[in-house]
Chain A
């Protein structure tokens, strides 16, 4: 036990567990929720979208591997940037990453709802998702869309669970991930052998007048699917022999993820067609599955139910993961005195970062009223921005601390971090342009969040400065 009452994490996660944590974050919710949306923008090229994102993000993966092996801190990107950059930059990094995770939470909750309705529909408990209207509330005398209601319930449930008890261990995550991957393998196996797939039509690969460039905005939207590294590095201290296992886990999880995406999206586009997939939106994969999976089975009745269950299960576990991840970022920021100290304290009774979890939950609840696509766009935007900073940290650290011990050194320095920065910048630019045209709400909210951060930073620093003058004088801004 440390002086903060923080639990000293035990290093009991192996390479497999660490890889599974990364894969668990990258495979699952993203693939179930975003495939349809990507197909809407890029058509059959949605397949390419995910592969290219894997390539882009591999450069950032290298940077994460080097930082994680040489900076012995759990806490992910924020912890690394905090080590390298000054107060304001690291605050912004934490602020952006926190938001990215919270909005991702909203996204997963929004993805959970239609898939859950689809699951109920498969068992004839509810009518088809598009036939479920607003649920009228007797008290407020206003209708709330069923999806928003369900999404809010999911957030409430998981925030509550995490606030009241400490998170399940990484080993549970391994089981969850294996279930998800197993379900996807079933999906791919049935899809690839179904008659629908044999007549698959991937032409034209790039529909519409935008041509190949239509891939770029879709990449921006789905970039969120690849935030898994940050999650791996938030548990580094719990991993055995981290300086070897973390880089391996990062690359292994990325490689497997890209292969799985390729197979799943290929089958989905091949069977349902890009248009059908796009029409199904957040429930794209689930709907594709109900088309070609065998029916009339005992107990589960409809083979598609497995996949729909997989989608429900994935979105819920992903939601759980980002509730933990977002609260960890806020918790670290509180401990570094970049947010109110109460964010960095464990609850005396529940032993959880209570305030950080509740605050994250509030923003997540707010975000479930957004359209799914806006949530995806905003979350991706903030992950892109924070990954730029992570790549920059590697370069800054190499220049300022050449003699630092780096158990893992990324190859061909400085090419990978520079490419990482450029490609992430490119995607950011494309995404912002796309948002300007189609989703100004998301853009305004993003700018608003950063502005809110700037205000919070200024106010917090003013408070600390005035405390410092009549206190111990140590906590003046900029001196730590």
Chain B
């Protein structure tokens, strides 16, 4: 995989536009397909992508966007059906293109037959919201797959596990402490859970509140 990708984004709304800005920062080549003329102008002003105005499900518009030579196509409009159609059309026109579709639920498995990856932006948005709402003591870093969360947690003074070594703390099954305090090293059995320090922990969602209790009290 070259570091420099040619990417088509269908939909220049909030999700598509933000994705375009970030991808442009990383040095990729972008084409955005957008129906709304005002959005087109707004994207053109930011100067991050070539903009094609039109309906992304129209094969002629996909052709103008250069689908034959693109590495990836992402359907990021607010309509899951349209995103799916765009991805499948693109795969038909350019076999080998990687397809990413924005969907509207966490039920990803069903889509796997049709697209390479799915995106449920509300999920990521909610994660960020939760981080901000809870403050900086617990931060969800990423959800890897299904039910696993990677979180960074600051150990609270007086919490059950505070000042204990890992080997003497009984975390529930489905938990893995990954980093040493403040992320300098990988955690070891003799790692002490010092109050005020942060630890990166992988945790399955059904035991998350138990872990929270041990570390935050």
Contact = CB atoms under 8 A, between A and B. Distances in A.
- A and B: partners? yes
B47 A242 contact: yes
A3 B3 contact: yes
B50 A403 contact: no
B45 A2 contact: no
Nearest to A237: B47
Given A2-B26, A480-B6, A480-B69, A405 B52 contact: yes
A72 interface: yes
Contact of B27 (A3, A405, A474): A3
Interface in A76-116: 83
Interface residues of A, number: 31
Contacts of A71: 50
B53 interface: yes
Nearest to B69: A480
B64 interface: yes
A234 B25 CA distance: 17
Contacts of B3: 3-4
Interface in B41-59: 41, 43-45, 47-54
Given A83-B50, A236-B47, A474-B2, A2 B61 contact: no
Main secondary structure on B side of the interface with A: mixed
B1 interface: yes
A73 B29 CA distance: 9
A4 B27 contact: yes
Contacts of B45: 241, 243, 407
A168 interface: no
Contacts of A480: 6, 69
A407 B44 contact: yes
A191 B49 CA distance: 50
Interface centre among A8, A241, A401 (most CB of B within 10 A): A401
Interface in A201-234: none
Contacts of B26: 2-3
Given A402-B64, A404-B64, A72 B41 contact: no
B21 to A, nearest CB: 11
A469 to B, nearest CB: 16
A400 B52 CA distance: 12
Contacts of B112: none
Contact of B52 (A8, A73, A403): A403
Contacts of B30: 72
Contact of B69 (A69, A403, A479): A479
Contacts of B48: 72
A6 interface: yes
B47 A243 contact: yes
A167 B27 CA distance: 20
A70 B53 CA distance: 12
B185 interface: no
Interface centre among B48, B50, B52 (most CB of A within 10 A): B50
B44 A472 contact: no
Contacts of A402: 64
A405 B51 contact: yes
Interface in A40-86: 69-73, 83
Given A403-B64, A407-B41, A6 B27 contact: yes
Contacts of A460: none
Interface in B11-29: 24-27, 29
B117 to A, nearest CB: 18
A403 B47 contact: no
B111 to A, nearest CB: 25
Contacts of A335: 4
Contacts of B40: 405
B27 A400 contact: no
A404 B53 contact: yes
A405 B48 CA distance: 13
B107 to A, nearest CB: 32
Given A236-B47, A237-B47, A335-B4, A403 B54 contact: yes
A403 B61 contact: yes
B53 A403 contact: yes
Interface in A393-438: 400-405, 407
Nearest to B3: A3
A73 B51 CA distance: 12
Nearest to B58: A403
Nearest to B48: A72
Given A72-B24, A335-B4, A403-B52, 18 more contacts: A3-B3, A3-B26, A3-B27, A4-B4, A8-B25, A70-B51, A71-B50, A83-B50, A236-B47, A243-B44, A243-B45, A337-B2, A400-B64, A402-B64, A405-B40, A405-B53, A474-B2, A474-B71
13 contacts: A3-B4, A70-B44, A72-B47, A72-B48, A237-B47, A243-B47, A335-B4, A337-B2, A400-B64, A403-B53, A404-B51, A474-B2, A480-B6
Q: Give the 5 A-B residue pairs with the shortest CB-CB distance, closest first.
A: A2-B27, A405-B51, A401-B64, A72-B47, A403-B54
